[in-house]
Amino acid sequence: MIAEVIVDIDTQALDQVYDYKVSKEDELNLKVGMRVLVNFNARNVIAFVMSLKEDSTYDKLKTITKVIDIVPILNQEQLDLVKFIKINYYTSYQKAINLVLGNINKINVKQYLRVLDKENLSLNLKEVLKRESNLYKKEYDKYKKDIVEAINKGIIKLEITTNINKLKEEISYIYLNDENLKSKKSKELLNYIKNSNKAVTKEEILALGYKVDNIKYLESRNLIKVIKKDIFNDIDTIKLNNIELTPTIEQKEAINRVKLNHYKTYLLHGITGSGKTLVYINLIKEVLKKDKEVIVLVPEISLTPQLAAVFKNAFKDDVAIFHSKLTKNERLSEYLKIKNKLVKIVLGPRSAIFMPFTNLGLIIVDEEQEDSYVSENSPSYDARVIALKRAEFYNIPLILGTATPRVISYFKALNKEYELLSLTKRPTKQTLPKVSLVDMREELKNKNISTISYKLEDEIRKTLEKKEQVILFYNKRGYASSVMCRDCGYIIKCPHCDMPLTYHKNRQSLVCHLCGYQMRNVVICPKCHSKRIRYVGLGTEKIVGDVVRLFKDARIYRVDSDSIGSDYNLFYDKIKNKEVDIVIGTQLIAKGLDFNDVTLVGVINADLGFFYPRYDANENNFALLEQVSGRAGRHKEGQVIIQTYNTNNFVLNAVINHDYKMFYDEEIKQRRLLDNPPFKKILKIILSDSNINLVKSEALKLACKLEKASFNIIGPSEAVYFKVNNVYYYEIYLKYVKINLELLTSILNTSQVYLKIMYL
């Protein structure tokens, strides 16, 4: 037998399948998806078995040194995903494997054999598996066939754990048999366990005044049975009151239209506050009745605490939370809960799509319009696409939920590729907030140079008088976008990125928001030594200053990545508990959050989002403005004031009317004229290198090769962020209906610089 393996070395030159012989003794145990040890370039390295075959076209093959796993670490679905990611996202096998496994293969885990049915163990295993939980030892290798057979029959369960996680073990006992006991204490304890009708923990027994000897005596008489269970770290979530789980007629209709045992994509389009989460919860309950598993994706870590609280409230301990801001121990703990089948629901951003469930019944992607579902790192995968692949594999529904669908998704729904589910009303009967525009050109004419218009100032004052809360939205952190000398025009830039440094007043520093470089604020121009320094542009810090001057007695709180770090629970609790009056923040406060007393939202500069050089800038800005508008008036009458320099913009007029269809109809016309998605697809090729001349030269060569191969290209051109951390970036765009990925990959492989592709 021959094994085709991928060596666990991330080098492009070695990114291929290698053939190795399988010894006769390993033939029975080796399965596709297992890790093995192979001799590669005169050293032992770990490799993954991708397939097994009878013959090889190569002579003088080496034999696999050792089979590492008892059961495959990669199942068939995961292997299919690895191949899909490698082909579609121009990456290596090794990177794709790490992604699919959540890098768990890089952690020194221990394998345990948990005995579930001692009576049906084979004689061999009865000899070696003396306890309920047995750490897998080298001497067990000769019993691998028996072990695998017992695992498949459910007699043994394979679990993994690690010293890093420092798991605790919960010991509890259940009633087995009766006996006429002489000891009063033993009798009482046996009756207590018997009448509990459930497992009773050791701590509970000791707290009642019994001794360890009392427990051991009952155990020795085979009157009670011990159950040992690993206790994993629990993730802190915010506390919520019990929520009403009775769906409205509209929600019931959406729930009933989802066929749970059938592969289909549903676009759940519901206005803000329409109760999409309630639809999710009711569908998940039906899935759990079938003993199946659920993945729920959210776009932002900031949305995780509130949704986690809702899910913990509904499903108790059956939920794992997985995201990048958890500690290493917490991430591993949540992963092991899933791997060891201790939970049936996982909630988290992008990377949660790869969690190792093997009996999926439903996948939900909340706020499906968000860009954060696309990884900026290589491989630049789209979690929504991976969700589609997993749903198709398990023949289950995928639900894309949003108040502001991507134009591509809505187009597919109108053309019956997706099924459209609509929620047009709020369950609370609360109407959507009234939205009005303020023309900032008129403010300037009236001598108002503040970031806050007269109308917004007046409405903030009225809101505070009613003891209600205000959210002011501006999607840039810092105090000023750049620092400039008024005499010579010199702008202070990052030495590594050639981008203006942002002034942070609170810490008196200049910061690069691309690479993180920091320096002390300058008061003298480094070029002409003038003291006439000017701060240009604005950020959330500057807005805080303006608001403080206007509302001296208000409790003001800034929410951006500088001010709150990773403590998302803290900012949510502060607002929820009414410890603040005015919240000033970036997109961290724009989506998904539900506060009873926020009745006014102010958007400081709605035009900011229109200047991004992307075909979907209108779509992104509409979504952001509609989402932040939805924070107002969820439980009381609310209003939104949007400040702009362009009151005739069709996007803003659609936001005023909360009319997605109005926006879509105009946007789809523009896209059709320009052949932009959904009419054609766009793929971006990013070339990067520390040598500016090399990357420019390679970009020109690559563009020439692609053009000769009849690809429809745009570019090459310098990237928007041309220099980041001393690395230079060029971009080439491909527009297509269908694409030959094999041909594209062969052309990309000729480049001498680092490449990454992204689907737009």
Asked if 337 contacts 104 with a C-beta cutoff of 8 angstroms, the reply is no
- Same fold yes or no, 168-231 and 681-759: no
Contacts of 624 (CB under 8 A, 6+ apart): 475, 587, 590, 609
CA–CA distance, 627 with 586 (Å, rounded to integer): 12
DSSP at 493 = B
Q: How confident is the model at residue 617 (pLDDT cuts 50, 70, 90)?
A: very high
What tokens does 78 get? 């995961």
CATH number of 168-231: 1.10.10.10
Beta bridge partners of 349: none
Residue listed under structure tokens 């563009």? 703
pLDDT in tens, 389-423: 999 999 999 999 999 999 999 999 999 999 999 99
CA–CA distance, 480 with 638 (Å, rounded to integer): 31
CA–CA distance, 241 with 310 (Å, rounded to integer): 9
Q: How confident is the model at residue 742 (pLDDT cuts 50, 70, 90)?
A: very high
The upper half-sphere exposure of residue 721, i.e. CA atoms within 13 Å in the direction of its Cβ, equals: 15
Among the listed residues 424, 422, 278, 290, the one whose alpha carbon sits nearest the alpha carbon of residue 364: 278
Q: How confident is the model at residue 53 (pLDDT cuts 50, 70, 90)?
A: very high
User: Does residue 70 register a pLDDT over 70?
Assistant: yes
Q: Given this model, what pLDDT does residue 603 score?
A: 94
pLDDT in tens, 168-192: 566 888 878 888 887 888 888 888 8
What tokens does 390 get? 């997993």
Q: Given this model, what pLDDT does residue 702 score?
A: 96
Within 466-608, where are the H helices? 540-550, 561-564, 568-576
CA–CA distance, 704 with 687 (Å, rounded to integer): 14
Question: Can you point out the beta strands (E) in 232-381?
Answer: 264-270, 293-297, 319-321, 345-348, 360-366
Q: Phi/psi of residue 342, each to 5°?
A: -95, -15
Q: Phi/psi of residue 375, each to 5°?
A: -75, 135
% of the chain residues with pLDDT over 90: 51
Q: How confident is the model at residue 690 (pLDDT cuts 50, 70, 90)?
A: very high
Q: What does the pLDDT average to over 8-16?
A: 86
Cis ω for the linkage preceding 678 (within 30 of 0): yes
Asked if 37 contacts 48 with a C-beta cutoff of 8 angstroms, the reply is no
pLDDT in tens, 80-90: 999 999 999 99
DSSP secondary structure of 637-656? --EEEEEES-TT-HHHHHHH
CA–CA distance, 246 with 251 (Å, rounded to integer): 9
Lowest mean pLDDT among 142-151, 263-272, 288-297, 699-708: 142-151
Residue listed under structure tokens 């060891």? 340
Asked if 269 contacts 423 with a C-beta cutoff of 8 angstroms, the reply is yes
Q: How confident is the model at residue 165 (pLDDT cuts 50, 70, 90)?
A: very low
pLDDT in tens, 621-647: 999 999 999 888 888 899 999 999 999
CA–CA distance, 411 with 675 (Å, rounded to integer): 14
Q: Which CATH class is domain 681-759?
A: alpha beta
CB atoms within 10 A of CB 411: 18
Among the listed residues 559, 548, 643, the one whose alpha carbon sits nearest the alpha carbon of residue 593: 559
Query: What's domain 2-106's architecture?
Result: 3-Layer(aba) Sandwich (3.40)
CA–CA distance, 152 with 506 (Å, rounded to integer): 61
Q: Given this model, what pLDDT does residue 41 score?
A: 87
Asked if 114 contacts 150 with a C-beta cutoff of 8 angstroms, the reply is no
pLDDT in tens, 109-134: 677 788 888 888 888 888 788 777 77
Q: Given this model, what pLDDT does residue 230 score?
A: 54
Cis ω for the linkage preceding 526 (within 30 of 0): no
What tokens does 727 get? 């690395």
Among the listed residues 581, 638, 580, 574, the one whose alpha carbon sits nearest the alpha carbon of residue 428: 638
**Looking at the domain 434-479+538-672, which fold is it?**
Rossmann fold (3.40.50)
Among the listed residues 668, 674, 657, the one whose alpha carbon sits nearest the alpha carbon of residue 618: 668
Q: Given this model, what pLDDT does residue 304 score?
A: 60
User: Does residue 105 register a pLDDT over 70?
Assistant: no
Q: How confident is the model at residue 327 (pLDDT cuts 50, 70, 90)?
A: low
Q: What does the pLDDT average to over 604-619?
A: 88
Q: Phi/psi of residue 87, each to 5°?
A: -70, -45
Q: What does the pLDDT average to over 741-759?
A: 93
What tokens does 284 get? 């998940």
Asked if 274 contacts 427 with a C-beta cutoff of 8 angstroms, the reply is yes
Q: Spell out the domain ranges in the chain.
A: 2-106, 110-161, 168-231, 249-323+346-423, 434-479+538-672, 681-759
Q: How confident is the model at residue 673 (pLDDT cuts 50, 70, 90)?
A: very high
User: Does residue 274 register a pLDDT over 80?
Assistant: yes
At residue 636, the 3 state secondary structure works out as coil
Q: What does the pLDDT average to over 469-490?
A: 88
CATH code 3.30.450.20 for 249-323+346-423:
no
- Summary mean pLDDT of the chain: 87
